[in-house]
Each structure stands twice: as C-alpha cells, then as structure tokens.
C-alpha cells in the first residue's frame, strides 16, 4: 500500500470529530489509563505485601509482570476468534465490567494469591477486549483517515502512562492523611489506585455502551457453522500465507524482544551508571517521550516512503540505537539515545498497526490482531524471564583501552545482544516486506531529498484507482471496458476515463496532440500539454470520483508520459515524471496494468489510419515499450505486466484475477 503523508493536528481533530470513533477513543484512553495505573498499583501492592523483605519484593514484582503476560500464551488467539464471531460492542462492555469487579476485589482481599489470580483474570479479559477494539477501528473511520485514527489511538495508549504515574504520585500524598481515618490495609497508595482503576473501567463500559456503529465480526456466511478451533486455524493459515502479515509479525516480535530487554534491565542499567530512582524515572519518561514523537511526528517526516519500507527500516534503526545505548556510560547520552530509540519504535508501531488495519480483511482482522498481540506478549514473557539471568551470568567486565578504563555489566551486554537480534530481525522484515525490490532504500532517501519520491509512493484515497498502460495496439480500451462491466457486476461504482481527452478541456488538448495537422511539437511543449490535460483531469474528474469512493479506471496516466515523452522523445524520464507529479499532486494508481506487445505487432494492429504519435518510427515505439517494462521492474507491487498477444478472454481473466486481490474488492467479490 502507498504511504500517505502523516496527518497533522487538523487531521487528528478531523478523525476525532467522528462521533462513534470519538467515543471509542475515549474508552481506549480510559482503558489504557486503567491498565497503566493497574500496573503501578499491583507492583506497588506486591512490594507492600513483601513486608520489607528486599528479595521477596523483587520476586513478587517480577511475578506480577509475568502473570500479566502469561494468559496470552493460551487465550490470545482464541480471544481473537471470539472478537470475529460475536458482537464487538457487547463483548467490550462485558470485559470492562469484569475488569471493574476484578480490580475492585484486589485491595479488598489483600493477599498474594488473589493478587496473582485476579491479575491473570484481568489480563485474560483484556485479551478479549483488545482485538475487538482494534478490529473495530477500521469500521468506524474512512480508509483515508485510518492513519490519523491509529496515531491518536497509540497516543492514547502510551500518552496515558505519564498521566497514570502522576496520579499515582498524587495519591501517595492523600494516602498518608487518609490512613488516619481508614485502616492502612484499605487506604494505601496502591489500594486507592486500584479503586480509581476499577472505576475507570466502569466508566469505559458506559462509554462503549453509547457507541453505535460497532458491528459483529465480519465472519463470512460460509463460516458461520465453523467451530472456534476451525476459525482459529483459518486465521493462522491466513497469517502464514501472507508475506506482508508474516513479515509484519516478525518485525513486531523483534521490536518487542528488544523492548523487553530494556524493560527487564532498565533499573539495573541505571544503577550501573551510578544513578538512582530519579534517573530511572527520567529514563522511563524518555521512552514514552520518544514513543509520542515517533507516533505523532514520525509519519509526517517519513511520509514519502511506503509503509512496507519504513516499517522494517524503523525497526532496524530503533534496534541500532539500542546497541549504541548498551555501549554508553553517560546518563545524559543514555537518555538522548533512549528518546531516539523510542521515536523509531513509535514510528514502527503506528505503521504496523495501520498496515494490519489496511491489509487484513475484516473477517479475520480480530484474530490477526489477537495473534500478533499474543506472540508479542509471549516474547515479552520470555525476555523478562531470561534477560536478568543472562545479565547475571555475564557479570561485570572491565576493559583497559590506552589510559582509559571501561566497565560494562551484564545488563549492558544483554541489551547489546538484544539490539543485534533486533537489527537482524528488522533487516529480514524489511527484505520480506519491501516493495520495489530493485530500488535500494538509499536511492529512495536521495529521491526524497530531491522531492521526487512522492510520485512513486503516492497517497492513499477513499476509492480505488486503476490505470492501464501500454504501447499502440495493445488492447487497453477493450480491456478497460471489460473490467468496468465485471466490477459493476459485483456491485462496484465505476468511472471509466482516458488520457488525453477525459474531460471537455482534455478533448480539445487531445485534438492538438494527436492530429497529424498539428505537425511537429517541441518535446518539452508536448510533455507540458499532456501535464496540463492530466492536471485538469485529476482535479475535475478523477479526484472527486475517488473521494466519493468510486473505482476509477483510466486508459493511460502518468506512466504514458514517462514512456512516450521521456524515453520516446529522449527526454529525461525523471524530469517528465516530476512535471506529472506536480500536476497530479502525486496522485498514484492503486494498481497499474501494462499490456505488453512487441512494437511491430502493435503498430500493425493499429491499422493504416495512424495519428501523430502512432506514425512515429518503430524505434520510437520500441523505446516506449522498454520504458514501460522498466517501470514495472522498479515497482512490481503496483504494476502487473500482461502478455497482450494472448486472446482477449485470457487477458481479461488475468486482469480480473489480479484485481480481486485488492482487499476492498476481494471482500465484495466474496459477498457476491
């Protein structure tokens, strides 16, 4: 999928202006606040129940982390199936009421057994709530606002962590005074936090109950009689067959593997830097500051790159900063690199969640989100359990370099190893998911600096944009008509157009460009005339149709100018492309078919009544054909090359098969 420019503040307000999504966002914010406050409260209660025993307190706190993550091992994927099969709104309400009751019971019972039991139950319930929430977002906002929705969603998830920390600190001030009236067992800071935490989930249940527009999971009718385990297996099969989703999951696992090492070793690492609890708090805040920057600012800065590229690349960069962090012995520098690490992690998370929402069909979206979340939690459990053991086994090491003595402890070595693993996973994920495999990331970076990448990656739109390209006599007009009829037969609204001549103004420009009476036109003038036609075409016809959610099919678009006026007229193709990008505001087709036919065969098919371009020498048309194929080689994700020497029926069948893989069309075709 192309990667749009990141939404700014106005876009965030725009997506929050959607009533149903705004209510869901409020529920997510309060739920996240409750989760963070619950984490602080349960770990504090674990320490409180230890009665001053340092070792017991540390093991108790570690136990809280582990039991919060363990339910995902068994229940995570099953929870996703539930989210796909039942009314998501009712499921979320029931889950919130259960979390309210469980958190309220923890301080009232007040022992280790119930603390761990209730924590396991809370996390089990949350496993059902989360995929229902994640799978509902794409149904409440338009496709072109999904990036904004994911940004404000992740900001709600991580932005509430510092708020919860502040509330927890303020409660500590009230707790000392309240203990004079109420017994300490029921009025400690942890107890008060748990009471507020419980109320937050009761409020969340009420907010969700007011939402209209959440629907039952999108399980196809053919699957309604399928049992839960059958649905679960089908979800796993979908993930394993999709190169994009499997690469996405691999990358997110690598990211959380590295993050788990930081979480498990951060306090020890800060101690190794001879700093105390205050520094640990600053480091904690730095992580979330970086995440907020990455989520809110990152997509805007890297808006010209495709999601598939930026996801793997950002994971790699984030892990690279973890490697640097492990070698740093200065607290200020450590905080700086933690912010950078968090920023690129935030960029990868918002990109990953957006890709899941766009790439995964509604009927398996819930179980896919649950599957991803379960694997992430499992990796965190393993890392939290193993990383301290590895750090202790490595121990303390001192190195003498010239006159300098460097001391590194097990925490630094373990984070270094985790960073290396993260870099490897990021690179593998990038290679597995990248589009345009013949073009390097460095080439994209240089193109972005020159302002040339926008025309390659483009921007998303509500509707679907399909273009047909090819030399003379390739059969584009015939195939566009056939595809239009096919799409209309499955209930789609289709707008068929052409270039030049798709508008009244375009018809006049077409007469100038193609009439033999026009005679010779300077190559640059010709390119500018095509760009003028295209600018008006996009402005007056294509863009409005896409904004209305229609499917637009065009016979020729930007690639024809690059091939004809670029390669054919021996102008620089990049220069011609730049003109068209400006004219179209970088509007790029979702899918481009290139009907390939040898130039000599195509000219024979065109007949004897040739227009000004068709009359060009054979060498001209051979250059045009070669440039079309070059474009397809650069971006095989968007281009589909079809042998146009086949029968009309065979070509149409291949086109329809390829079009059916576009997510929105695929769902509609199945329903028909």
For 1-26, what is each residue's pLDDT tens digit? 333 333 344 455 567 777 777 888 88
Give 242-281 pLDDT, tens digit per residue.
666 777 777 777 766 766 677 666 656 766 676 654 565 5
What's the DSSP call for residue 408?
A: E
The DSSP code sequence of 64-80 is: HHHHHHTHHHHHHHHHH
Sheet of 639-643: strand order equals 494-498, 551-555, 464-470, 591-596, 639-643
Residue 457 near residue 2, CB atoms below 8 Å: yes
The backbone torsions φ and ψ at residue 66, rounded to the nearest 5 degrees and listed phi first, read: -70, -45
| pLDDT class of 554 with cuts at 50, 70, 90 | very high
β-pairing, 397-401 with 404-408? antiparallel
The CA–CA distances, whole Å, from 662 to 165, 354, 632 equal: 44, 16, 18
Question: How is residue 527 written in tokens?
Answer: 């390119």
Give the mean model confidence (pLDDT) for residues 26-44: 76
Q: Could you state, in order of their start, the residue ranges of all structural domains in the chain?
A: 17-216, 227-434, 450-671
Ramachandran region, residue 205 (left: φ > 0; alpha: ψ -120 to 50; beta: rest): alpha
| pLDDT class of 357 with cuts at 50, 70, 90 | low
CB atoms within 10 A of CB 516: 12
User: Does 579 have pLDDT greater than 90?
Assistant: no
Instruction: Report pLDDT for 666.
Output: 47
Looking at per-residue confidence, does 616 or 276 come out higher?
Answer: 616
Beta bridge partners of 494: 551
What's the DSSP call for residue 303?
A: T
What is the spatial distance between Cα 362 and Cα 368, in angstroms, rounded to a whole number? 10
Calculate ∠ Cα 527-598-497, nearest 5°. 45
For tokens 């979330």, name the residue: 288
For tokens 């042998």, name the residue: 643
Give the mean model confidence (pLDDT) for residues 335-362: 77
What is the spatial distance between Cα 327 and Cα 638, in angstroms, rounded to a whole number? 42
Residue 26 near residue 207, CB atoms below 8 Å: yes
Give the mean model confidence (pLDDT) for residues 387-399: 68
Per-residue 3-state assignment (H helix, E strand, C coil) for 207-260: HHHCCCCCCECCCCHHHCCCCHHHHHHHHHHHHHHCHHHHHHHHHHHHHHHHHH
| pLDDT class of 485 with cuts at 50, 70, 90 | very high
What is the spatial distance between Cα 257 and Cα 269, in angstroms, rounded to a whole number? 17
Q: Which CATH class is domain 17-216?
A: mainly alpha
CB atoms within 10 A of CB 489: 10
Instruction: Report pLDDT for 231.
Output: 46
| pLDDT class of 400 with cuts at 50, 70, 90 | low
Question: How is residue 229 written in tokens?
Answer: 């385990």
Half-sphere exposure of 16 (CA within 13 A, CB side): 17
Looking at per-residue confidence, does 363 or 504 come out higher?
Answer: 504
Q: Do domains 17-216 and 227-434 have the same CATH topology?
A: yes
Half-sphere exposure of 520 (CA within 13 A, CB side): 2
| pLDDT class of 667 with cuts at 50, 70, 90 | very low
Give the mean model confidence (pLDDT) for residues 541-554: 90
What is the spatial distance between Cα 416 and Cα 641, in angstroms, rounded to a whole number? 45
What is the spatial distance between Cα 559 and Cα 386, in angstroms, rounded to a whole number? 53
CATH 3.40.50.300 for domain 450-671, yes or no, is yes
SS3 helix, strand, coil % of the chain, rounded to 5?
A: 75, 5, 20
pTM over 0.75: no
Beta bridge partners of 467: 554, 592
| pLDDT class of 213 with cuts at 50, 70, 90 | low
The DSSP code sequence of 81-96 is: HHHHHSBHHHHHHHHH
User: Does 169 have pLDDT greater than 60?
Assistant: yes
Beta bridge partners of 595: 470, 642
The CA–CA distances, whole Å, from 307 to 21, 63, 283, 523 equal: 23, 37, 29, 36
User: Which of the following CATH numbers is that of domain 227-434: 1.20.1250.20, 3.40.50.2000, 3.10.105.10, 1.20.1740.10?
Assistant: 1.20.1250.20
For tokens 């205050």, name the residue: 278
């Amino acid at each position: 999928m192309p990667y749009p420019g990141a939404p700014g503040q106005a876009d965030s307000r725009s997506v929050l202006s959607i009533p149903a999504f705004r209510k869901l966002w409020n529920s997510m914010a309060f739920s996240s606040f409750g989760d963070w406050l619950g984490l602080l409260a349960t770990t504090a209660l674990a320490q409180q129940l230890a009665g001053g025993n340092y070792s017991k307190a540390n093991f108790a706190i570690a136990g809280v982390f582990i039991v919060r993550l363990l339910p995902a091992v068994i229940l995570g994927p099953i929870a996703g199936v539930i989210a796909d099969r039942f009314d998501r709104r009712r499921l979320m309400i029931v889950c919130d009421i259960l979390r309210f009751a469980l958190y309220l019971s923890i301080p009232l019972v007040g022992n280790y057994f119930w603390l761990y039991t209730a924590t396991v139950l809370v996390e089990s319930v949350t496993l059902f709530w989360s995929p229902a929430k994640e799978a509902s977002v794409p149904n409440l906002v338009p496709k072109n606002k999904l990036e904004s929705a994911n940004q404000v969603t992740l900001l709600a998830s991580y932005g509430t962590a510092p708020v919860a920390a502040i509330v927890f600190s303020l409660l500590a001030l009230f707790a000392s005074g309240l203990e004079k009236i109420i017994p300490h067992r029921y009025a400690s800071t942890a107890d008060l936090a748990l009471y507020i935490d419980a109320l937050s989930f009761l409020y969340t249940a009420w907010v969700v109950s007011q939402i209209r527009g959440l629907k039952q999971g999108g399980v196809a009718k053919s699957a309604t009689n399928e049992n839960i385990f059958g649905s679960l297996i089908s979800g796993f099969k979908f993930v394993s067959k999709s190169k994009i989703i499997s690469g996405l999951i691999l990358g997110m696992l690598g990211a959380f593997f590295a993050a788990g090492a930081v979480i498990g070793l951060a306090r020890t690492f800060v101690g190794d830097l001879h700093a105390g609890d205050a520094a640990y708090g600053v480091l904690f805040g730095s992580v979330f500051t970086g995440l907020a920057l990455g989520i809110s600012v990152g997509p805007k800065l890297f808006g010209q790159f495709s999601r598939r590229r930026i996801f793997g690349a950002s994971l790699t960069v984030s892990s690279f900063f973890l490697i640097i962090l492990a070698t740093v012995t200065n607290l200020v520098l450590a905080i700086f690199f933690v912010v950078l690490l968090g920023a690129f992690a935030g960029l990868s998370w918002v990109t990953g969640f957006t890709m899941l929402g766009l790439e995964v069909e509604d009927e398996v979206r819930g179980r896919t989100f649950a599957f991803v979340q379960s694997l992430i939690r499992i990796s965190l459990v393993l890392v939290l359990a193993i990383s301290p053991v590895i750090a202790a086994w490595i121990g303390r090491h001192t190195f003498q370099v010239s006159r300098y003595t460097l001391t590194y402890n097990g925490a630094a070595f373990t984070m270094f190893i985790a960073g290396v693993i993260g870099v490897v996973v990021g690179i593998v994920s990038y290679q597995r998911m990248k589009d345009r495999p013949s073009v390097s990331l460095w080439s994209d970076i240089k193109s972005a600096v020159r302002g040339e990448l926008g025309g390659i990656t483009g921007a998303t739109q509500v509707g679907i944009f399909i273009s047909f390209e090819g030399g003379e006599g390739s059969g584009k007009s015939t195939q566009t008509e056939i595809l239009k009829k096919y799409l209309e037969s499955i209930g789609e609204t289709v707008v068929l157009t052409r270039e030049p001549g798709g508008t009244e103004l375009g018809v006049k420009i077409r007469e100038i460009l193609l009439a033999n009476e026009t005679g010779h036109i300077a190559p640059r003038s010709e390119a500018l005339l095509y760009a003028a036609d295209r600018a008006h075409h996009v402005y007056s016809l294509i863009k409005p149709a896409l904004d209305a959610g229609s499917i637009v099919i065009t016979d020729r678009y930007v690639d024809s100018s690059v091939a004809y006026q670029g390669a054919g007229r021996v102008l620089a193709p990049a220069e011609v492309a730049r003109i068209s990008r400006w004219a179209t505001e970088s509007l790029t087709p979702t899918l481009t078919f290139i009907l390939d036919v040898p130039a000599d065969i195509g000219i024979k098919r065109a007949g004897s009544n040739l227009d000004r371009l068709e009359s060009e020498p054979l060498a001209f048309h051979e250059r045009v054909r070669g440039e079309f194929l070059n474009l397809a080689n650069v971006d095989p994700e968007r281009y589909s090359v079809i042998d146009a020497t086949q029968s009309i029926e065979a070509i149409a069948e291949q086109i329809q098969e390829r079009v059916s893989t576009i997510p929105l069309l695929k769902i509609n075709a199945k329903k028909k």
